[in-house]
Chain A
Amino acid sequence: AQSVTQPDIHITVSEGASLELRCNYSYGATPYLFWYVQSPGQGLQLLLKYFSGDTLVQGIKGFEAEFKRSQSSFNLRKPSVHWSDAAEYFCAVGRMDSSHKLIFGSGTRLLVRP
């Protein structure tokens, strides 16, 4: 069965430091991958998505993610974190069955130290 794993429940970084959030998926074919961000008490906002082509994907708010097939990973990165980036981040994969629905990871909460 398809699954998405975000191994880090919480991550704390200092403002201005670089960030990498991990996401691993299990999927036989080329996955369709997404990263969403959720501010407290809010809905989810799409940061970026990968369907095919260049394995380095640029998103909004200065985020990027790299698809690595050999590692079944789609890690999210940002070179310099801002205090406003504190939120919860969700990785998701499109299902390969006819439903075409999303399977979400359990999320990583990012805390930013001033």
Chain B
Amino acid sequence: DGGITQSPKYLFRKEGQNVTLSCEQNLNHDAMYWYRQDPGQGLRLIYYSQIVNDFQKGDIAEGYSVSREKKESFPLTVTSAQKNPTAFYLCASSIAGTSRTDTQYFGPGTRLTVL
């Protein structure tokens, strides 16, 4: 089955620790995205990548980092600099990311809780 997988589903972190969220897709999509979702709010874009070895900051990139070494993988690191990291994180992908008509397909999400 083609799709997007995110792991782990639940993640707990102590304050001051970095943590990496995994996102893998086998849809052969060029573009991948990371969103953050907080209760009662829509999705906010953290980072996106339209091609391997290239990525751009979204609206709320501070305290986060990404890499795009392979087409199918786009891991997100939540660093200790992120002041309020507890949230639900969603990864998405689209065919090209170069058109407003591109449909984004979402993974099941990772819920990160900072203890």
Decide whether A and B are members of one complex.
yes
Listed in ascending order, the chain A residues whose CB lies under 8 Å from chain B are 4, 9, 32, 34, 36, 41-46, 49, 51, 90, 92, 94-96, 99-102, 104-107
B10 CB, min distance to chain A CBs, angstroms: 9
Q: Which residues of B contact A107 (CB under 8 A)?
A: 40-42
User: Does A94 contact B109, Cβ atoms closer than 8 Å?
Assistant: no
Residues from chain B with Cβ under 8 Å of A41 in the complex: 109, 111
Partner of A99, one of B6, B56, B108: B56
| Interface size in chain B (residues, C-beta < 8 A) | 28
Which of B6, B43, B111 has the largest number of chain A CB atoms within 10 A?
B43
User: What is the bound-complex CA distance between A45 and B92, given in angstroms?
Assistant: 11
CA distance A42 to B3 in the complex (A): 14
B101 touches A99 (CB 8 A): no
Q: Does B83 contact A (CB under 8 A)?
A: no
- In the complex, whether B48 has a CB less than 8 A from a CB of chain A is yes
